[in-house]
Chain A
Amino acid sequence: MGVKTTDLEIFSPSSEENLQLTFVEEGVQAGFPSPAPENTILTLDLNKELIQHPAATFYARVVGNSMIDAGVNEGDILIIDRSIEPQNGHMVVCFVDGEFTLKFIRLDEKEKGIIWLIPANPDFPKIKVTPENEFMIWGVVSYTIKNRLKK
């Protein structure tokens, strides 16, 4: 089950199996290595960790590079939680004038009812959304997943 659009390819998660992987609870320090962790090895299931509301969650694969300055590149995976109430500054999958697109939302400070869709790439324009546009926020991006081996 899925749908392909210009900016995104949307999927439904499959969570038939759970996969418990070893998890070091102290966290991984991005600086000096910590001494060997003691007795804190637990397991972590990514489905449980990353999906708070399974009935409301979809995945999408990013197409294009309008969000590269936010660290979101083509091929990255988005976790979209439709149960989250969108707020100023959220990264969202929205639907504007017939197209799905991935942007940050910003409410206009002066003009009420105006929403700005902000890309994270200077080559892309900001989009002004007024009540005249056909517009809906389809879902809020809760996580982005990136392959660190891909160049």
Chain B
Amino acid sequence: MYALVDCNHFFVSCERLFRPDLRNHPVCVLSNNDGCVVSLSHEAKILGIKRGVPLFQIADIVKKNNIAIFSSNYLLYSGISERVMKIITDTAKNVDVYSIDEAFIDLRNYEKRSLCHLCDCWLRKLKNGWVFPLVSE
């Protein structure tokens, strides 16, 4: 068995860490030079915004709904990514960090009981908001 850890709208979550006021607010993060939307919150998705859309095409929706727009800040994202990956690599063996917000974990050598322990450990840390919530599949 393998696990895939994938953070929800990772760049948005990073920005929200220092902007708790945007927790339930639509948020988009843009690509380099503020071209396209590369990360968007659930609330922004509901408004019909799609990943990859150029900013100028959604200017009206952004203004009308007061969507919070961020230029990308890769220094911030890689710093937060290191924290997320550290939580995983500190507790599991054979982790393959696949991208800034994804990791594969090889769970073949775990017995059922230690696997439950491992999952409990992650859940406890994430529930306590060590960094921010993750979704694992």
Residues of A within 8 A of B (CB): 1, 3, 10, 12, 53-56, 82-83, 85, 95, 98, 134, 136, 138
Chain A min CB distance to B114 (Å): 21
Check if B33 is an interface residue, CB within 8 A of chain A. Answer: no
Choose from B21, B75, B76, B131 the contact partner of A56 (Cβ within 8 Å): B131
Evaluate whether A83 and B20 lie within 8 angstroms (CB atoms) in the complex, with A55-B84, A55-B130, A56-B130 already known.
no
12 A-B residue pairings within 8 Å (CB atoms):
A1-B73, A53-B130, A55-B83, A55-B87, A55-B131, A82-B129, A83-B125, A83-B129, A85-B128, A134-B20, A134-B21, A136-B20
Evaluate whether A3 and B18 lie within 8 angstroms (CB atoms) in the complex, with A55-B131, A83-B128, A85-B128 already known.
yes
Are B20 and A95 within 8 A (Cβ)?
Answer: yes
Chain B min CB distance to A119 (Å): 20
Q: Collect the chain A residues with CB atoms within 8 Å of residue B130's CB.
A: 53, 55-56, 82-83
Are B87 and A95 within 8 A (Cβ)?
Answer: no
Q: Collect the chain B residues with CB atoms within 8 Å of residue A134's CB.
A: 20-21
Interface size counted on chain B using CB atoms at 8 A: 17
Residues of B within 8 A of A (CB): 18, 20-21, 73, 75-76, 79, 83-84, 86-87, 90, 125, 128-131
| Complex Cα gap A136–B125 (Å) | 17
Q: Collect the chain A residues with CB atoms within 8 Å of residue B20's CB.
A: 95, 134, 136, 138
Chain A min CB distance to B32 (Å): 18
| Complex Cα gap A95–B20 (Å) | 7
List the A residue with the shortest CB-CB distance to B88: A55
Q: Collect the chain B residues with CB atoms within 8 Å of residue A1's CB.
A: 73, 75-76, 79
**A54-B86, A55-B86, A55-B131 known; 5 other A-B pairs, CB under 8 Å?**
A1-B75, A55-B84, A55-B130, A56-B83, A56-B130
Choose from B18, B21, B75, B83 the contact partner of A10 (Cβ within 8 Å): B18
Q: Collect the chain B residues with CB atoms within 8 Å of residue A138's CB.
A: 20
Are B79 and A55 within 8 A (Cβ)?
Answer: no
| Complex Cα gap A138–B130 (Å) | 10
Q: Collect the chain A residues with CB atoms within 8 Å of residue B90's CB.
A: 55
List the A residue with the shortest CB-CB distance to B129: A82
